[in-house]
């Protein structure tokens, strides 16, 4: 086997290895993200249902207590304490509603990551397919030209992927966002 | 009679929070799962205000606003964007499309209600 043939084979193996291993790991990442999304969806469904049920129960309880307080002519300090507790509950309800919006944002971020994984897998698959087409007997100049084409194709696909994936979620915390009226 | 609001968002959990907040404030809220669904519902019923997300399948928020502004019944109806998008570029596009305001997610129910009250009473 000539030195030239040996190095061509090494390059082919390297490129197909990058493609194969990269794709395998991307599949694992994708599987984990799908599972994460399922868990987050189930979590938000349960949290929302519990939140609604608790809110309904607390509202009913507040009404009952207020009615009792009115009926029994409760002292002013007790009425004031009840009012203050109701306000506290209201503040926590607002905070919970703000916090419960996490799933909308995490879902968008995960979807974006999934699209990027799909795009990257395509890039790697193309690299694998292109490298498979390299003949064992190839002179240096032809090999260099082929590798350059593979690199350019990879670069083009990668750039296209970047431009398709507009980052719509830049939030890094769950405080309420800005409001602007035009 | 309660003022009517069309809430358009592809996230079910987000819609649930919007509906919860606005119904508690006395508004009647109808949900739409994306821009196209929002447009269909807006054509069958007149709403006092439209609150829409931006990034949705089938039809996004900007396309929905443009489509609504093309309908005689919605030329002056207040439309607010409620979205994770916060860039000046996107806000400018929203304004040009005909949005009356821009709210960045996540929203605080009290602040949302205050804005809605300010816009439609």
Q: Give chain B positions within 8 Å (CB) of A102.
A: 106
Angle formed at CA B18 by CA B13 and CA B19, multiple of 5 degrees: 95
Chain B residues in contact with A50 by the CB 8 A cut-off are none
| Ordered mean pLDDT values, 10 residues apiece, chain A (182 residues) | 72 88 94 95 95 94 88 86 91 94 93 92 88 80 86 88 83 88 92
Inform me whether the pLDDT recorded for B97 exceeds 80: yes
pLDDT in tens, B23-37: 999 999 999 999 999
CB atoms A97 and B21 under 8 Å: yes
* Binary contact (B84, A104; C-beta < 8 A): yes
A34 in any annotated domain = yes
Q: Are B113 and B18 in contact (CB under 8 A)?
A: no
Q: For the whole model, what pTM was predicted?
A: 0.86
**Cβ contacts (< 8 Å) between B11 and chain A: which residues?**
103-104, 107
Q: Which residues of B touch A97 (CB under 8 A)?
A: 17, 20-21, 108-109
Range of the structural domain that residue A19 is part of: 3-56+101-164
Domain containing B32 equals: 4-120
Based on the structure, what is the number of domains in chain A?
1
Query: What pLDDT, on the 0 to 100 scale, is given for residue A59?
Result: 92
Chain A: give the shortest CA distance to residue B66, in Å. 16
- Asked whether residue A157 is domain-assigned, the answer is yes
Q: For residue A94, give the nearest of B13, B84, B108 by CB distance.
A: B108
Residues 61-120 of A with CB under 8 A from B: 93-94, 97-105, 107-108
Predicted confidence at residue A129, as pLDDT, reads 86
In a domain, A147, yes or no: yes
CB contact under 8 A, B84 and A97: no
B40–chain A nearest CA distance, Å:
23
* A176 contacts on B by Cβ (under 8 Å): 106-108, 111
Q: Do B14 and A101 touch (CB under 8 A)?
A: yes
Report the residue of chain A nearest B19, measured CA to CA: A97
Asked if B86's CB is within 8 angstroms of A176's CB, the reply is no
Q: State the pLDDT confidence band at B38, using cuts at 50, 70 and 90.
A: very high
pLDDT of residue A72: 84
Sign of CA dihedral A180, A182, B2, B6: negative
Residues of B with CB under 8 A from a CB of A: 9, 11, 13-14, 16-17, 20-21, 54-55, 83-86, 91, 95, 99-111, 115, 118-119
Query: H-type helices in A72-139, by residue range?
Result: 76-99, 102-132
A18 falls within a domain: yes
Q: How many domains does chain B have?
A: 1
Residue A13 lies in a domain: yes
Residue A43 lies in a domain: yes
Identify whether A131 is part of a domain.
yes
User: A76 lies in a domain?
Assistant: no
8 Å CB contact of B105 and A105? yes
pLDDT on residue A68 = 87
The CATH number given to whatever domain includes residue B74 is 3.40.50.2300
In whole angstroms, how far apart are CA A33 and each of A147, A180, B90?
Answer: 33, 34, 28
Give the model's pLDDT for residue A32. 96
């Amino acid at each position: 086997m000539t030195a030239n043939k040996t190095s061509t084979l090494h390059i082919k193996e390297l490129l197909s290895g990058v493609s194969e291993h990269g794709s395998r790991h991307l599949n694992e990442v994708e599987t984990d993200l799908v599972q994460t999304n399922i868990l987050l969806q189930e979590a938000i469904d349960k949290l929302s249902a519990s939140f609604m049920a608790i809110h309904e129960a607390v509202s009913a309880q507040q009404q009952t207590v207020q009615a009792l307080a009115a009926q029994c002519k409760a002292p002013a300090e007790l009425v004031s304490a009840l009012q203050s507790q109701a306000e506290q509950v209201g503040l926590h309800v607002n905070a919970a509603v703000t916090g419960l919006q996490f799933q909308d944002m995490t879902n968008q971020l995960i979807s974006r990551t999934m699209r990027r994984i799909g795009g990257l897998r395509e890039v790697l698959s193309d690299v694998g397919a292109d490298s498979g087409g390299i003949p064992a007997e190839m002179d240096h100049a032809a090999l260099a030209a082929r590798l350059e084409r593979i690199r350019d194709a990879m670069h083009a696909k990668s750039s296209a992927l970047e431009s398709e994936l507009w980052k719509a979620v830049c939030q890094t915390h769950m405080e309420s966002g800005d409001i602007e009226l035009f | 009679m309660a003022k009517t609001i069309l809430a358009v968002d592809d996230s079910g959990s987000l819609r649930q929070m919007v509906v919860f907040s606005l119904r508690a404030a006395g508004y009647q809220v109808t949900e739409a799962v994306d821009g196209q669904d929002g447009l269909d519902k807006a054509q069958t019923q007149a709403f006092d205000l439209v609150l829409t997300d931006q990034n949705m399948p089938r039809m996004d928020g900007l396309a929905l606003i443009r489509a609504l502004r093309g309908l005689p019944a919605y030329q002056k109806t207040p439309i607010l964007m409620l979205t994770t998008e916060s860039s000046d570029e996107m806000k400018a596009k929203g304004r040009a499309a005909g949005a009356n305001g821009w709210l960045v997610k996540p929203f605080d129910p009290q602040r949302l209600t205050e804005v809605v009250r300010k816009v439609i009473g």
